[in-house]
Chain A
Amino acid sequence: MVPLSYYLVLSGILFACGVAGFLIKRNIITIFMSIELMLNGVNLSFVAFAAHWHVLAGQIFVFFVMVVAAAEAAVGLAIIIAVYRTRETLNVDQVNLLKL
């Protein structure tokens, strides 16, 4: 049996990669993928805990997260397409019309 800590470390690494990608990358699609990475990092820790404590609630949470992530992906991609059509760029630093 693989110890719980392994899962958690992997989950932490996944999350950290997501955060780093989110902070560093300028391409809005990459940022979007980083967000998915963070969500999946969290999902991993949920299922790991669920298996470790034999509690189903963790797995149910994961389903919720997946549904929300799917919805978010749909809306987010729609927004990205809309932005690209008007601004003709995917660089977030140039999508700054609301900036002071």
Chain B
Amino acid sequence: MNQSLHLWLIPVLPLAGAAINGFLGKKSSRTAVSTIGLFFSGAAFASALWVALHFSSLQLPYQEYVAHWIRSGSFSVDFAFYLDQLSLVMLLVVTGVGFLIHIYSVGYMWDDPGYYRFFSYLNLFMFFMLTLVLANNYLLMFIGWEGVGLASYLLIGFWFTKDSAASAGKKAFIVNRIGDFGFLIGLFLIIQNFKSLNFDHVFEQVQPLGLETSAGLLTAIGILLMVGACGKSAQIPLYVWLPDAMEGPTPVSALIHAATMVTAGVYMVSRSHLIFERAPIALTVVAVTGTLTAFFAATIGITQTDIKKVLAYSTVSQLGYMFIACGVGAFSAGIFHLMTHAFFKGLLFLGAGSVIHAVGGEQDMRKMGGLKTYIPMTFIVMLIATAAIAGIPPLAGFWSKDEILWKAWEANPAYWAVGAITAFITSFYMFRLLFLTFWGDYKGIKVDDHGQAHAAHGHGDHGHGEPHESPWVMLGPLVVLAVLSLVGGLVGIHNGFEHFLEPVFGSEFPKAIAEPGNTEWLLMGVSVLFSIAGLILAYVLYVSKPYLPQKIAGSLNGFYEAVLNKYYVDELYAKIFVKPLIDGSTNILWQGVDRKVIDDTVNNAAAGARHVSDEVRHMQSGNLRSYAGWISAGAAIVIAYMIWLGMGR
């Protein structure tokens, strides 16, 4: 028998924090705001840990009913929570990494005038994200899904006085709407065919269905859900919002746009794995989207010079890996990578924040360099994170990426090939970032004034003569994440992680356990070789022969330009979708329908009434005798009419 876990507390705690800080924070001191923010996110983490401690004694999946929501005929949706191995992993990642980033933000955002607003939004995000991962039905999940979108919008546009930040927030919101549209239609299809949105009820009815070899209902649902996931998790063709989202404060990029929110799509696809497993076409769509995105985003990452943009494209690329895993049916490998990615990418972003903090708000890597002597702690954790994402054993990224590549090989060697090449590129651009930032000579300005960026990043009035190390409140979370990036992958040894998730996903690849044979070792060797090759290439190009990249870029002229400009995708979208939409809205909807039809109807009706009244009001002259005349005339007409009626008898 299950005891009550009070799961509802986990999302509600951060909501309370958001409300307190949002309503009262303006007048409170910074210390009070940070205490509230940290207490409630920490409490959520603590209760997640408490749940994890009691986990082994639970009957799974554990469900907790809180309240009715919608009752309509036989269709019903409740506020209810669902806990199984998958949600537990997500729960721990979200609350754990979220709590660390809250701590980091205390240091990073201290001098920002919107300090209380920041913590309120951050807590609000935690509330929605936890609702998303704990929901026991698609609709509650959708609430969380939209809510994190809202929090993301608010935080990207946190410095809303900057035009680029405001429009980046709008872009993220609008692009996500496109994905959500697909998600919603998927949900409608589920309601129509399964009469429920409850995970249990839906999957119960999906279970007995056979494999759909040609496109059918499950394929449609799967592809529509994938459209939703593409929006949230920044996959081709909807990835364009994520790089722009870097306009937000760096802790936000770490929490929302690297570690947690963008992985919601992966979580949603994994949660719906019973649907996807029965729709091979939808799975292929997922895998191909993931493969293309991983490769495509990685190539853009090579050319970017803004440290956060590199990390943004790297996030898009890593999310692509997770979708490859889902697409080949290796959902547990996808979730494994999701977890390790949360560690090392969160760390990379926070480290980048520390670097940006050190150099006074500069984000251009070409103006950094030589920082390893100035900020040794940040350097060490960044080194660990870079090695982890590059897939160098035995760090976290190696285990999860290797797992994905191995599963991809079993499904289709083409996925593996692209994935392996992407791993090489990943290693290359990540070490490029590291070498550009920490090796060589410091190329930044060493003056006290750091202009625009100063205000934007809310550094106080402390001087920026030399790059300086961040305070411990920022370094602490970095160290914890670095440890997790170091050892986080070890849970994957002997398929430990996969076994843990087995009750959710079923045992997918029995033969992988049966024969850990030569192929796996060979693939592992190849991918390690690829990562090291990337490292060496980056070293050659950016440390020993720093004049080479310029030359190579020059010899590739047109192509390099295209990659530097992100393949002109933004421009293409602007031309194909945005401009026709704006033109259509302006000329047809605004000037045509709204002004000519709606406004004119109302205005003409009003003007007509006025004209008529203008004429009629002359009857009411104020002249007593003319009134008497009207009365007599009226009486005469009535009397004449009655006489005429009487004559008719």
Say if the beta carbon of B621 comes within 8 Å of chain A: yes
A99 to B600, CA, bound (A): 33
Q: Are B623 and A23 in contact (CB under 8 A)?
A: no
Q: Are A95 and B624 in contact (CB under 8 A)?
A: yes
Q: Are A99 and B625 in contact (CB under 8 A)?
A: no
Q: Are A93 and B625 in contact (CB under 8 A)?
A: yes
Interface string of A80-98 (1 = CB under 8 A from B): 0000000000001101111
A82 to B279, CA, bound (A): 95
Measured CB to CB, the nearest residue on chain A to B621 is A99
A4 to B629, CA, bound (A): 30
Say if the beta carbon of B27 comes within 8 Å of chain A: no
A26 to B625, CA, bound (A): 8
Q: How far is the CB of A51 from chain B (nearest CB, A)?
A: 24
Q: Are A22 and B628 in contact (CB under 8 A)?
A: yes
Residues of B within 8 A of A26 (CB): 625
Say if the beta carbon of A69 comes within 8 Å of chain B: no
Say if the beta carbon of B632 comes within 8 Å of chain A: yes
How many residues of chain B get a CB closer than 8 Å to chain A's CBs?
Answer: 10
Q: Are B629 and A23 in contact (CB under 8 A)?
A: yes
> In the complex, which of the residues B621, B625, B628 contacts A100, with contact meaning CB atoms closer than 8 Å?
B621
Residues of A within 8 A of B623 (CB): 93, 96, 99
Interface residue tally on A, bucketed by range: 10 to 19
Q: Are A23 and B622 in contact (CB under 8 A)?
A: no
Residues of A within 8 A of B511 (CB): none
A26 to B623, CA, bound (A): 11
Say if the beta carbon of B68 comes within 8 Å of chain A: no
Q: How far is the CB of B641 from chain A (nearest CB, A)?
A: 18
Residues of B within 8 A of A23 (CB): 625, 628-629, 632
Residues of A within 8 A of B629 (CB): 23
Say if the beta carbon of A50 comes within 8 Å of chain B: no
Say if the beta carbon of B617 comes within 8 Å of chain A: yes
Residues of B within 8 A of A95 (CB): 624
Q: How far is the CB of B80 from chain A (nearest CB, A)?
A: 69
Say if the beta carbon of A29 comes within 8 Å of chain B: no
Instruction: Please judge, given known A-B contacts A23-B625, A92-B625, whether A100 and B632 are in contact too, CB under 8 Å.
Output: no
> In the complex, which of the residues A31, A92, A100 contacts B617, with contact meaning CB atoms closer than 8 Å?
A100
A31 to B625, CA, bound (A): 10
Q: Are B622 and A96 in contact (CB under 8 A)?
A: yes
A19 to B25, CA, bound (A): 80
Instruction: Please judge, given known A-B contacts A19-B632, A23-B629, A100-B617, whether A92 and B624 are in contact too, CB under 8 Å.
Output: yes
A23 to B628, CA, bound (A): 6
Q: How far is the CB of A1 from chain B (nearest CB, A)?
A: 26
Residues of B within 8 A of A93 (CB): 623-625
Q: How far is the CB of B489 from chain A (nearest CB, A)?
A: 89
A96 to B626, CA, bound (A): 12
Residues of B within 8 A of A100 (CB): 617, 620-622
Measured CB to CB, the nearest residue on chain A to B624 is A92
A93 to B624, CA, bound (A): 7
A100 to B617, CA, bound (A): 9
A51 to B624, CA, bound (A): 37
A19 to B309, CA, bound (A): 94
Q: How far is the CB of B624 from chain A (nearest CB, A)?
A: 4
For the complex of A and B, the 7 pairs showing the least CB-CB separation, nearest first, are A99-B622, A92-B624, A96-B622, A98-B622, A22-B628, A23-B628, A19-B632
23 contacts across the A-B interface (CB closer than 8 A):
A19-B632, A22-B625, A22-B628, A23-B625, A23-B629, A23-B632, A26-B625, A31-B624, A92-B624, A93-B623, A93-B624, A93-B625, A95-B624, A96-B622, A96-B623, A98-B622, A99-B621, A99-B622, A99-B623, A100-B617, A100-B620, A100-B621, A100-B622
Given contacts A22-B625, A100-B617, A100-B621, 19 further A-B contacts (CB under 8 A): A19-B632, A23-B625, A23-B628, A23-B629, A23-B632, A26-B625, A31-B624, A92-B624, A92-B625, A93-B623, A93-B624, A93-B625, A95-B624, A96-B622, A96-B623, A97-B622, A99-B621, A99-B622, A99-B623
